[in-house]
Amino acid sequence: MSGLALVAHQFRYDQKTFWRNPAAVFFTVAFPVILLLIFATVFGDQTVDVNGGVETTTYYVPAIITLSVISATMQSLAMSLVIAREDGRLKRSRGTPMPPRVFIAGRIGNSIVVALLMLALIAAIGRVLYGVALPWERLPAILVTLVAGAAAFCCLGIALTAAIPSQDAAAPIVNALLLPLYFLSGVFIPDDQLPSGVIHFADVFPVRHFFEAFFNAYVPAGAGGSGLEWGNLALLAAWGVAGLFLAVRFFRWTPRAG
């Protein structure tokens, strides 16, 4: 079997495993939808001073897509790989003829596909329930930004596994890292309600750059332009490269105890 066929086989297996796991489906698919409904219901009649002023519902559609992509990639990969490592599945996979890169490629492919599905789902809900139209003329920029972000956060998620000692610690560590960044980066709280010092602090981290790049592609400030935020994408890519380096250097296939 060729390498591409092996990756496709592993991808199909990871897709089946993901959709048969109620907890994974809830936190990756249902939870972002619930957040969008809550934010849109509570703050839907307000306006935020971003990109010349937009309705809150318009603000939260790309914000929740941002959260969904990070959840489907960094959060999902870090937690699932640690669980697989600690229960011995990663170690057993090394004893099979399947190359390690095929296993990782299947997991990454699954995460990126789920991220694309979440883009379609949240965009559809935003259009049907709140009248937030998908800017079709910016679709190439939206997809490029989403794939760039998904790739970077996949690398960061794999790298993060090295810092997680056990299955029980996976969810607390990942959530402790991501939840504060969602608040500080403007995902949960609109930019116009955050102090400038908070924004400057958030600019150090990739969540802020991904959110800015994706939001400006989805909600353009004016006519014209490709919608690609090259500065934010470059910094996001730098984080991805750093994550890839750390993943290659420190990723473990065996349990911490073995």
The whole-angstrom separation of Cα 126 and Cα 75 is 24
Q: What is the pTM of this model?
A: 0.92
How far apart CA 187 and CA 58 sit, in angstroms, is: 12
Query: Cα–Cα distance between 85 and 167 in angstroms, integer?
Result: 9
Q: What angle do CA 29, 32, 35 make, to 5 degrees?
A: 150
Residue 96 is predicted with a pLDDT of 75
Length of the chain: 258
The more confident residue out of 8 and 44 is 8
Taking CB atoms within 8 Å and a gap of at least 24, the contacts of 165-173 are 165/256, 166/82, 166/86, 166/256, 167/82, 167/83, 167/86, 167/87, 169/82, 170/78, 170/79, 170/82, 170/83, 171/79
Q: E-strand spans in the chain?
A: 47-48, 54-55
Q: Enter the tokens of residue 28.
A: 């990756």
From the number of C-beta atoms within 10 Å of its C-beta (0-12, 13-18, 19+), residue 219 rates as buried
For 238-258, the pLDDT digits (tens) are: 999 999 999 989 998 889 765
Give the tens place of pLDDT for each residue, 153-201: 999 999 999 999 999 999 999 999 999 999 999 999 988 888 888 989 9
- Tell me the pLDDT tens digit for each residue of 79-132: 989 998 998 888 887 777 777 778 788 888 888 999 999 999 999 999 999 999
Rounded-to-integer distance, Cα 88 and Cα 63, Å: 36
Beta-carbon-side half-sphere exposure of residue 84 (alpha carbons within 13 Å)? 22
- pLDDT band, very low/low/confident/very high, at 2 (cuts 50, 70, 90): low
Q: Which residue has the tokens 């914000």?
A: 63
CA nearest neighbour of 229 among 62, 94, 82, 89: 62
Q: DSSP class of residue 221? A: S
- Assigned token pair, 58: 């318009």
Give the start-to-end residue ranges of the domains of the chain. Answer: 3-250
Tokens of 185: 């980066």
Give the pLDDT confidence score for residue 46 in this predicted structure.
84
pLDDT cut 90: percent of the chain above it: 56
